Protein backbone atom coordinates (compact mmCIF):
# COMPACT_ATOMS: atom_id res chain seq x y z
CA UNK A 1 0.00 0.00 0.00
CA UNK A 2 1.47 3.34 -1.04
CA UNK A 3 2.05 6.09 1.47
CA UNK A 4 -0.47 8.97 1.42
CA UNK A 5 0.53 12.10 -0.47
CA UNK A 6 0.79 14.15 2.74
CA UNK A 7 3.20 11.73 4.42
CA UNK A 8 6.28 13.76 3.45
CA UNK A 9 8.72 15.87 5.49
CA UNK A 10 8.03 19.57 6.06
CA UNK A 11 10.42 21.74 4.08
CA UNK A 12 12.25 24.43 6.05
CA UNK A 13 14.44 27.43 5.26
CA UNK A 14 17.20 26.48 2.85
CA UNK A 15 15.19 23.79 1.07
CA UNK A 16 14.73 24.17 -2.68
CA UNK A 17 11.28 24.39 -4.20
CA UNK A 18 10.26 20.98 -5.55
CA UNK A 19 9.28 20.72 -9.19
CA UNK A 20 5.53 20.53 -9.69
CA UNK A 21 3.56 18.86 -12.46
CA UNK A 22 1.67 21.82 -13.99
CA UNK A 23 -1.30 19.63 -14.87
CA UNK A 24 -1.69 18.11 -11.40
CA UNK A 25 -2.82 19.94 -8.26
CA UNK A 26 -0.02 20.51 -5.75
CA UNK A 27 -0.98 21.58 -2.23
CA UNK A 28 1.40 23.50 0.00
CA UNK A 29 0.31 22.19 3.35
CA UNK A 30 1.13 21.79 7.03
CA UNK A 31 -0.06 18.48 8.44
CA UNK A 32 -1.69 19.98 11.53
CA UNK A 33 -3.12 23.19 10.03
CA UNK A 34 -6.93 23.36 10.12
CA UNK A 35 -7.09 25.79 7.20
CA UNK A 36 -4.94 23.55 5.01
CA UNK A 37 -7.04 20.56 6.04
CA UNK A 38 -10.00 22.16 4.28
CA UNK A 39 -8.26 21.93 0.92
CA UNK A 40 -7.04 18.37 1.45
CA UNK A 41 -10.53 17.21 2.44
CA UNK A 42 -12.06 18.74 -0.69
CA UNK A 43 -9.52 17.02 -2.92
CA UNK A 44 -10.02 13.68 -1.20
CA UNK A 45 -13.81 13.97 -1.28
CA UNK A 46 -13.74 14.70 -5.01
CA UNK A 47 -11.13 11.98 -5.69
CA UNK A 48 -8.87 14.45 -7.49
CA UNK A 49 -5.23 13.26 -7.65
CA UNK A 50 -2.85 15.67 -5.95
CA UNK A 51 0.66 16.09 -4.61
CA UNK A 52 1.62 17.65 -1.28
CA UNK A 53 4.53 19.86 -0.31
CA UNK A 54 4.56 20.25 3.48
CA UNK A 55 5.91 23.53 4.84
CA UNK A 56 7.60 24.17 8.20
CA UNK A 57 5.70 27.29 9.25
CA UNK A 58 8.25 28.27 11.88
CA UNK A 59 11.16 28.19 9.41
CA UNK A 60 9.59 28.86 6.04
CA UNK A 61 11.62 28.43 2.85
CA UNK A 62 12.43 31.76 1.17
CA UNK A 63 10.80 30.74 -2.10
CA UNK A 64 7.54 29.96 -0.29
CA UNK A 65 7.45 33.40 1.33
CA UNK A 66 8.33 35.12 -1.94
CA UNK A 67 5.81 33.33 -4.18
CA UNK A 68 2.84 33.04 -1.80
CA UNK A 69 1.31 34.92 1.13
CA UNK A 70 3.37 32.79 3.51
CA UNK A 71 0.43 30.81 4.88
CA UNK A 72 -1.12 27.45 4.04
CA UNK A 73 -2.93 26.12 2.23
CA UNK A 74 -1.76 27.12 -1.23
CA UNK A 75 -2.78 25.31 -4.40
CA UNK A 76 -0.34 25.37 -7.28
CA UNK A 77 -1.83 24.53 -10.66
CA UNK A 78 -0.54 25.28 -14.18
CA UNK A 79 2.20 27.41 -12.64
CA UNK A 80 -0.18 29.62 -10.66
CA UNK A 81 -0.35 29.92 -6.86
CA UNK A 82 -3.82 30.11 -5.35
CA UNK A 83 -3.85 31.19 -1.71
CA UNK A 84 -6.50 31.07 1.03
CA UNK A 85 -8.29 27.83 1.84
CA UNK A 86 -11.80 29.04 1.04
CA UNK A 87 -10.66 30.36 -2.33
CA UNK A 88 -8.55 27.40 -3.38
CA UNK A 89 -11.17 24.92 -2.13
CA UNK A 90 -13.70 26.58 -4.43
CA UNK A 91 -11.15 26.52 -7.24
CA UNK A 92 -10.57 22.79 -6.76
CA UNK A 93 -14.31 22.18 -6.64
CA UNK A 94 -14.77 23.95 -9.96
CA UNK A 95 -12.04 21.87 -11.62
CA UNK A 96 -14.46 18.94 -11.50
CA UNK A 97 -17.96 20.46 -11.78
CA UNK A 98 -19.59 17.04 -12.15
CA UNK A 99 -18.87 16.37 -8.47
CA UNK A 100 -19.67 19.85 -7.16
CA UNK A 101 -19.61 20.17 -3.37
CA UNK A 102 -21.50 23.47 -3.46
CA UNK A 103 -25.25 23.48 -4.21
CA UNK A 104 -26.04 24.33 -7.82
CA UNK A 105 -28.65 26.86 -6.69
CA UNK A 106 -26.84 30.22 -6.18
CA UNK A 107 -29.04 31.11 -3.21
CA UNK A 108 -28.34 27.83 -1.43
CA UNK A 109 -24.64 28.22 -2.18
CA UNK A 110 -24.70 31.69 -0.62
CA UNK A 111 -26.53 30.37 2.45
CA UNK A 112 -23.90 27.68 2.88
CA UNK A 113 -21.06 30.18 2.66
CA UNK A 114 -22.80 32.40 5.21
CA UNK A 115 -22.89 29.46 7.61
CA UNK A 116 -19.14 29.00 7.14
CA UNK A 117 -18.63 32.65 8.07
CA UNK A 118 -21.02 32.43 11.01
CA UNK A 119 -19.52 29.24 12.42
CA UNK A 120 -16.04 30.65 11.85
CA UNK A 121 -16.63 32.76 14.95
CA UNK A 122 -15.57 29.72 16.96
CA UNK A 123 -11.95 30.12 15.91
CA UNK A 124 -10.99 33.01 18.20
CA UNK A 125 -12.34 31.43 21.41
CA UNK A 126 -11.03 28.02 20.31
CA UNK A 127 -7.47 29.34 20.37
CA UNK A 128 -8.32 31.49 23.39
CA UNK A 129 -8.86 28.34 25.43
CA UNK A 130 -5.46 26.99 24.40
CA UNK A 131 -3.59 30.24 25.00
CA UNK A 132 -5.32 31.48 28.17
CA UNK A 133 -2.92 33.16 30.57
CA UNK A 134 -3.16 34.56 34.08
CA UNK A 135 -1.24 35.33 37.24
CA UNK A 136 -2.32 32.06 38.87
CA UNK A 137 -4.06 28.76 38.14
CA UNK A 138 -7.48 30.06 39.16
CA UNK A 139 -7.24 33.02 36.81
CA UNK A 140 -6.17 30.81 33.90
CA UNK A 141 -9.02 28.38 34.60
CA UNK A 142 -11.50 31.26 34.70
CA UNK A 143 -10.28 32.66 31.38
CA UNK A 144 -10.42 29.23 29.76
CA UNK A 145 -14.02 28.76 30.84
CA UNK A 146 -14.92 32.23 29.58
CA UNK A 147 -13.43 31.40 26.19
CA UNK A 148 -15.10 27.98 26.09
CA UNK A 149 -18.48 29.50 26.96
CA UNK A 150 -17.97 31.89 24.05
CA UNK A 151 -17.12 28.95 21.79
CA UNK A 152 -20.24 27.11 22.95
CA UNK A 153 -22.40 29.89 21.47
CA UNK A 154 -21.25 28.77 18.03
CA UNK A 155 -21.74 25.10 18.93
CA UNK A 156 -25.31 25.97 19.95
CA UNK A 157 -25.86 27.69 16.60
CA UNK A 158 -24.54 24.67 14.74
CA UNK A 159 -26.83 22.34 16.68
CA UNK A 160 -29.89 24.50 16.00
CA UNK A 161 -29.07 24.72 12.29
CA UNK A 162 -28.80 20.94 12.03
CA UNK A 163 -32.05 20.47 13.95
CA UNK A 164 -33.83 22.87 11.62
CA UNK A 165 -32.43 21.15 8.53
CA UNK A 166 -33.23 17.67 9.79
CA UNK A 167 -30.41 16.22 7.66
CA UNK A 168 -27.18 14.32 8.34
CA UNK A 169 -25.01 17.18 7.15
CA UNK A 170 -25.23 20.95 6.79
CA UNK A 171 -25.16 20.31 3.06
CA UNK A 172 -28.03 17.79 3.15
CA UNK A 173 -27.95 14.02 2.97
CA UNK A 174 -24.34 13.92 1.77
CA UNK A 175 -21.28 15.83 2.87
CA UNK A 176 -20.69 19.14 1.11
CA UNK A 177 -18.52 22.23 1.10
CA UNK A 178 -20.10 23.79 4.19
CA UNK A 179 -19.37 20.68 6.27
CA UNK A 180 -15.78 20.39 5.11
CA UNK A 181 -15.01 24.07 5.69
CA UNK A 182 -16.16 24.07 9.34
CA UNK A 183 -15.01 20.58 10.32
CA UNK A 184 -11.29 21.08 11.11
CA UNK A 185 -11.87 23.06 14.34
CA UNK A 186 -14.50 20.60 15.54
CA UNK A 187 -12.04 17.77 14.93
CA UNK A 188 -9.58 19.51 17.24
CA UNK A 189 -11.92 20.08 20.21
CA UNK A 190 -11.07 16.71 21.89
CA UNK A 191 -7.50 17.95 22.38
CA UNK A 192 -8.82 20.04 25.28
CA UNK A 193 -9.43 16.95 27.39
CA UNK A 194 -5.91 15.71 26.66
CA UNK A 195 -4.20 18.99 27.46
CA UNK A 196 -6.51 20.04 30.30
CA UNK A 197 -8.05 16.91 31.84
CA UNK A 198 -10.91 17.58 34.21
CA UNK A 199 -11.47 21.12 32.95
CA UNK A 200 -15.01 20.31 31.74
CA UNK A 201 -14.38 21.48 28.21
CA UNK A 202 -16.70 19.01 26.50
CA UNK A 203 -19.37 19.54 23.87
CA UNK A 204 -22.60 19.60 25.92
CA UNK A 205 -24.50 16.31 25.74
CA UNK A 206 -27.75 18.18 24.96
CA UNK A 207 -26.36 19.25 21.57
CA UNK A 208 -27.55 15.96 20.14
CA UNK A 209 -27.77 17.06 16.50
CA UNK A 210 -24.23 18.42 16.56
CA UNK A 211 -22.91 15.26 18.18
CA UNK A 212 -24.70 13.15 15.57
CA UNK A 213 -23.14 15.29 12.82
CA UNK A 214 -19.68 14.77 14.32
CA UNK A 215 -20.26 11.02 14.31
CA UNK A 216 -21.40 11.18 10.68
CA UNK A 217 -18.40 13.27 9.70
CA UNK A 218 -15.99 10.68 11.09
CA UNK A 219 -17.56 8.20 8.67
CA UNK A 220 -16.72 10.39 5.66
CA UNK A 221 -13.87 8.63 3.78
CA UNK A 222 -11.81 11.82 3.41
CA UNK A 223 -11.92 12.47 7.14
CA UNK A 224 -11.20 8.84 7.95
CA UNK A 225 -8.09 9.16 5.80
CA UNK A 226 -6.81 12.55 6.91
CA UNK A 227 -8.38 13.31 10.31
CA UNK A 228 -6.40 13.04 13.55
CA UNK A 229 -7.54 12.29 17.07
CA UNK A 230 -7.36 14.61 20.05
CA UNK A 231 -4.13 13.08 21.32
CA UNK A 232 -2.28 13.84 18.07
CA UNK A 233 -3.52 17.43 17.98
CA UNK A 234 -2.65 17.88 21.66
CA UNK A 235 0.88 16.61 21.09
CA UNK A 236 1.31 19.07 18.23
CA UNK A 237 0.01 22.06 20.21
CA UNK A 238 2.31 21.21 23.10
CA UNK A 239 5.24 21.65 20.75
CA UNK A 240 3.91 24.38 18.49
CA UNK A 241 3.46 26.86 21.31
CA UNK A 242 7.02 26.22 22.49
CA UNK A 243 10.38 27.10 20.91
CA UNK A 244 10.79 23.74 19.19
CA UNK A 245 8.24 21.99 17.04
CA UNK A 246 8.66 18.67 15.26
CA UNK A 247 6.31 19.09 12.32
CA UNK A 248 7.23 15.58 11.18
CA UNK A 249 6.21 13.84 14.41
CA UNK A 250 3.71 11.61 12.60
CA UNK A 251 5.94 10.41 9.79
CA UNK A 252 7.33 7.41 11.66
CA UNK A 253 3.75 6.31 12.30
CA UNK A 254 2.73 6.65 8.66
CA UNK A 255 -0.07 9.04 9.60
| H helix or E strand, kind and range, residue 9 | none
Q: Are 186 and 214 in contact (CB under 8 A)?
A: yes
Q: Are 63 and 17 in contact (CB under 8 A)?
A: yes
Catalytic site includes residue 33: yes
User: What's the distance, CA 60 to chain centroid?
Assistant: 20
Cβ within 8 Å of residue 152, ≥6 positions away? 204
Query: Of 56, 48, 54, 45, which is closest to residue 27 (Cα–Cα)?
Result: 54
Select which of 33, 157, 191, 245 is catalytic: 33
Strand partners, 50: 25
Write the DSSP string, 26-95. Answer: EEEE-TT-HHHHHHHHHHHHHT--EEEEEE-TTS--HHHHHHS-S-S-EEEETTEEEESHHHHHHHHHHH
Q: How far apart are CA 90 and CA 112, in angstroms?
A: 13
Residues with active-site annotation:
33
Amino acid sequence: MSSPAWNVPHLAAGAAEPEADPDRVTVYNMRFCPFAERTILVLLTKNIPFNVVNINLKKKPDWFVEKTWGTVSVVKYKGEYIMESLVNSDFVDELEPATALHPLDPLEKAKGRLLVEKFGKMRAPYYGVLLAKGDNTEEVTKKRLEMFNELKKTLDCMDKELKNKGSKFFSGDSVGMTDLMVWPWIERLPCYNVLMPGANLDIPAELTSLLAWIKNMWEVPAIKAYGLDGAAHAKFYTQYFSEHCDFDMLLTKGA
